[in-house]
Amino acid sequence: MKTRGLVISGDAWHPAETVRLGLAALGERSFDFEFLESSVELSLEKMLTFPVIVIAKANMVSATDVRGWLALNLQNMFQKHLQHGNGLLFVHGGSARYGELPMMRRMMGGGFLSHPPECEVALMPNTAHPLTQASNSFVVRDEHYFMEFEGAEADVFLHSSSEHGVQPAGWTRGMDGGRVCVLTPGHNLEVWLHPEFQRILSNALHWMANLD
């Protein structure tokens, strides 16, 4: 039986299609993804039917509406989702514009600060970590995200490096009985489709669903 995954994507800077194509390329047989775009309307009951939720959109209603979508009641729902032992994956834009929301910062273990113009970014996995075993370093053209990293207890498995500096780029956290994973790469489809990123993404999904 497949694990249900809810994917929330689509904002002014990060097309939902990039996320759809990136996940489709996984050929993942363990998951059945449902996609939400534009205005996001969720109930806790609906949310709890998905053991894994992927947030790949900045805090915007849609690609044409830059108002924040994540109201306090929704933040509380995500926390309760974790308390039921579920998983939450933040990918790239999914970490942006949430820095002033204390509950989201707590879940992610920090908040987005800025990024320079797109550049060559080297991604360096910790090959001893379960999510990146047998992975190799690779280079992509991407937005190099700089984070205000507060997750002292986070398990960092991926770093990013460019001419602008070095940053944690992937980490896991146990949170409120659930599992959280943050991946900061992923602005361009080229990144999502890179074989090494695909491997890490698949591992992260399996880990969050407790399929590891």
Report pTM: 0.96
Using the Cα atoms of residue 132, residue 194, residue 119 and residue 61 in order, give the sign of their dihedral.
Answer: negative
Q: What is the mean pLDDT of the chain?
A: 94
State pLDDT tens for residues 167-211. 999 999 998 899 999 999 999 999 999 999 999 999 999 999 987
What's the pLDDT score for residue 152? 77
Name the one residue in this structure whose structure tokens are 């146990």. 174
At residue 153, the pLDDT reads: 84
**What gap in Å lies between CA 78 and CA 48, rounded to an integer?**
9
Give residue 127's pLDDT.
92
Q: Which residue has the tokens 């989702």?
A: 81
Q: What is the pLDDT of residue 40?
A: 63
Which pair of tokens denotes residue 174?
């146990």
Structural domains of the chain sorted by starting position, each given as residue range(s) with its CATH number in brackets: 3-208 (3.40.50.880)
Q: What is the mean pLDDT of residues 107-132?
A: 95
HSE at residue 166, side-chain half, CA atoms within 13 A, is: 5
Query: In Å, how far are 91, 158, 199, 202 from 59, measured between CA atoms?
Result: 13, 24, 27, 24
pLDDT at 13 > cutoff 90: yes
